[in-house]
Amino acid sequence: MASPPSERVRVRRLPKRGAYDRQTIDAILDEGLVCHLGFVVDGEPRVIPTGYARDGDRLLLHGSRSSAAMRVLAGGGPACATVTLLDGLVLARSAFHHSMNYRSVVVLGTGVEVVDVAEKLEALRVLTDHLVPGRSADARGASASELALTTVVALPLDEASAKVRVGGPVDDAADHDLPVWAGVIPLALGHRSPIPDTEVPPGGPAPTYVTSYRRP
Amino acid sequence: MASPPSERVRVRRLPKRGAYDRQTIDAILDEGLVCHLGFVVDGEPRVIPTGYARDGDRLLLHGSRSSAAMRVLAGGGPACATVTLLDGLVLARSAFHHSMNYRSVVVLGTGVEVVDVAEKLEALRVLTDHLVPGRSADARGASASELALTTVVALPLDEASAKVRVGGPVDDAADHDLPVWAGVIPLALGHRSPIPDTEVPPGGPAPTYVTSYRRP
């Protein structure tokens, strides 16, 4: 286990669940689809779900130029982006030791707006391909006006930590003989067969990256 | 569609996706398992994933007495709890109109610590049964020392809003004839067969609320 890059992101509660190596952090970020982006407005917290993508050593975020989150981040306000993958419900013999299996990453930092047009187009490509790898080769890219309506912000991964719980329940020894079933109900985000656009039916069949869709 | 209870929680971006009626809000909160809890530390946002349960007109949150989140919330600091259910990836013909189908709720407010012992035990029962309905009847309830280690906070639902996207892609008319497949890849959190505790195998079979587990 690597050391935390800063005191701010050190996992304090249940520190043995903390991890700071980029391999662990990157794998969680690359599997997730939505981050919960925290920012501060008038001293109060706001948390919104939003898409993201990891691009090397930074997290890319995007949104409408007029969104509160993008205005705060592009303005240099502090941010916290949290990605959580839920892996199971952990049923212990005691209510107290009930838990969840999960893998989460918290990224703290300050965003940098991506303004260079070529870099912004590339960031949008990475964001599209994070959702559906391969999609950017087919979808029409952003026009100049779409680009102007969109703010892209990069959040460096300098201050990031992962927290992971795996495995079964951990009961107190005194509870081991209780006549209570204990174990895990595994959970996972799954996908079903793609549904073609019903308003304007597409002219051809779904591409392989859609029919064989899976998260990394 | 009901009106927003306050300007703070009014959905500004894509306001037609906003909803403020308690039926919509409650259904999302009752289906979700994890909220992303935002709070402020030294002027900076923090967002952590945590369990929760809706108890009538309030959201119950709990955690270790020593956790930063519980200390801030029990101390009356402002909070934002966001619950997001991911329903699908929306592939439009243009990259710009790519989206996700989702149902989310944002609750803003100030927590009230639950200190009365009977009320606290009841809150923990509700929290357990939110994860696995029926579980509290079997699991050993909290001991006095476990209760002392746990902080329970109630966040009123007075200021809550939902945001929902459903349906297929909405492309610009000029893009309708592009030879690009468009549609939705449906997503849902699923569960698999329960795994009995392997460290201390349970004495009996899994109860029905485990073998027939499903979210509301």
Q: Does A121 touch chain B (CB under 8 A)?
A: no
Average pLDDT, chain B: 96
Tens-digit pLDDT profile for residues B147-156: 999 999 999 9
* Mean pLDDT of the B95-103 span: 97
Q: Output the pLDDT for position A1.
A: 54
Q: Does residue A1 fall inside a structural domain?
A: no
* Mean pLDDT of the A176-187 span: 97
How many structural domains are present in chain A?
1
What are the E-state strand segments in chain A?
A: 18-19, 34-41, 44-55, 58-64, 78-91, 99-110, 112-113, 150-156, 159-165, 183-191, 195-196
The type of residue at A17 is R
- Name chain B contacts of A183, Cβ cutoff 8 Å: 194-197, 202, 206, 210
Q: Does residue A78 fall inside a structural domain?
A: yes
* Mean pLDDT of the B58-71 span: 96
What are the E-state strand segments in A56-98?
A: 58-64, 78-91
Tens-digit pLDDT profile for residues B199-209: 999 989 999 99
pLDDT level of residue A13 (50, 70, 90 thresholds) = confident
Q: Does residue A148 fall inside a structural domain?
A: yes
H or E segment to which residue B149 belongs: helix B144-149
Q: Which of B173, B92, B178 is nearest to A203 (CA)?
A: B178
Strand A18-19 to A78-91 pairing = unpaired
CATH number, domain containing residue B125? 2.30.110.10
* Mean pLDDT of the A75-102 span: 98
Residues A123 and B174: their CA atoms lie apart, in Å, by 24
- What ipTM, to 2 d.p.? 0.96
When scoring A72, A93, A96, A124 by the number of chain B Cβ atoms within 10 A, the one with the most, hence best to mutate, is: A96
Q: Does residue A190 fall inside a structural domain?
A: no
Q: Does residue A52 fall inside a structural domain?
A: yes
Q: Output the pLDDT for position A175.
A: 97
> 0.95 cut: is pTM over it?
yes
Q: Does B101 touch chain A (CB under 8 A)?
A: no
Tens-digit pLDDT profile for residues B180-199: 999 999 999 999 999 999 99
pLDDT level of residue A77 (50, 70, 90 thresholds) = very high
Q: Does residue A112 fall inside a structural domain?
A: yes
* Mean pLDDT of the A79-105 span: 98
> Which domain covers residue B115, as residue numbers?
15-171+202-209
Report whether pLDDT(B43) > 70.
yes
- Number of CB atoms found within 10 A of residue A56's CB: 10
Q: Output the pLDDT for position B14.
A: 86
3-state secondary structure of B76: coil
Q: Does B7 touch chain A (CB under 8 A)?
A: no
Q: Does residue B143 fall inside a structural domain?
A: yes
Q: Does A85 touch chain B (CB under 8 A)?
A: no
Report whether pLDDT(B1) > 80.
no
Q: Does residue B144 fall inside a structural domain?
A: yes
